[in-house]
Structure 1
């Protein structure tokens, strides 16, 4: 499905090669994820808004492949590369971040949700701070009146230490467990309660499972 976002400015040959190489590497990870074993299923309503931390996104992306889910990615080399791979698995990808194209991306997510699509939202992206929930998913859920699910994924994987979120790519044949709950957004009907609701959702999302990242000594 073509993206509604504006195309980026023209890039040079070296940048084009970098994107092709990065897409190829990400495709290898997607092939590896075909070996994943899911210990439980996500019993959630659809359409909905799914809030997940950026570093735990990969198993969820694989789990919902070929189901017409809409997601958001940064408007940079990594974002365009992963969007290209995700679109091969029937994802619609809105490209944007707070500094580049964020408003256009949010409008695309809003339109997709109103058409009955579920939205996967990395709530601490695209630059962090890591595991700090932003307002985007909650605002989207309030505007569309769709249920908001907080989702964590537990699995063995490789950490990318140099990435801002310490991304965790699953190892081959890893077992994946989902820890999740529906957030009672209807309890915060007043727009003035948004910050209170955000703090409550952040606490619940973090509390679903312990963070297994340990900084190298």
Structure 2
């Protein structure tokens, strides 16, 4: 996979905004060095990791410099976070359901077949929040890689203005992972993928209670 591509038709104000956003994200990634992990992810690798978008940040930090491939939206925010993630050893495919999604999926497929672990935010780049899409299951099915459902539990601050209510971990907070290996082997290749996704979604939700709206 080549390096990420710059979005087309970028004017001067967009370039400035993108640079500022990248620096802000870089600062936040630096703050994440203070995070403390209560437990480790005992998972097979390579694999496909399914996580909700709002809980993605601790996982990104946990797997820094581990040669993991992830996906980001094909827009200026996605480009900015992808550039920062590259500095931490990630390979990033740009795409979403509305733009470049198929190309991004094939990039992830190519990386998985090369033996890379894939991190997949299963509710996509626009939601609805905590509603699992087909991507991670499709990727695991096509590559025969194990699929792990992963939730991150931690104290943080919610960004109410974002569609997923992203939860930013507080400095020095402790992170606990709740996870399980999804039994893809229980489903034949010809099984209706919507049934498989529905069961994976049920299991992912059950790993921990959603603390959105709960003051901590």
> Shorter-chain TM-score: what band?
over 0.9
Query: CA shift at 1:7, angstroms?
Result: 4.0
Residue 93 of structure 2: aligned partner: 94
CA deviations 1:107-162 (Å, max 9, x no partner) are 10000000000000000011100000000000000000000000000001111000
- Conservation of the 8 A alpha-carbon contact between 1:188 and 1:194: no
Residue 153 of structure 1: aligned partner: 152
Paired residues in the alignment total 215
Distance 1:78 1:147 in 2: 30
Q: Secondary structure at the match of 2:192?
A: helix
Q: Does 1:166 align with 2:182?
A: no
Residue 139 of structure 1: aligned partner: 138
CA deviations 1:50-104 (Å, max 9, x no partner) are 0000000000000000011000000111100100000001100000001100011
Residue 177 of structure 1: aligned partner: 176
Distance 2:160 2:151 in 1: 20
Distance 2:5 2:88 in 1: 22
Q: Does 1:33 align with 2:32?
A: yes
Q: Does 1:44 align with 2:39?
A: no
TM-score w.r.t. the length of structure 2 is 0.97
Distance 1:156 1:133 in 2: 23
Distance 2:8 2:191 in 1: 39
CA deviations 1:14-35 (Å, max 9, x no partner) are 0000000111111111011000
Residue 66 of structure 2: aligned partner: 67
Residue 105 of structure 2: aligned partner: 106
Distance 1:215 1:100 in 2: 34
C-alpha RMSD of the superposition: 1.3
TM-score w.r.t. the length of structure 1 is 0.96
Q: Secondary structure at the match of 1:43?
A: coil
Residue 186 of structure 1: aligned partner: 185
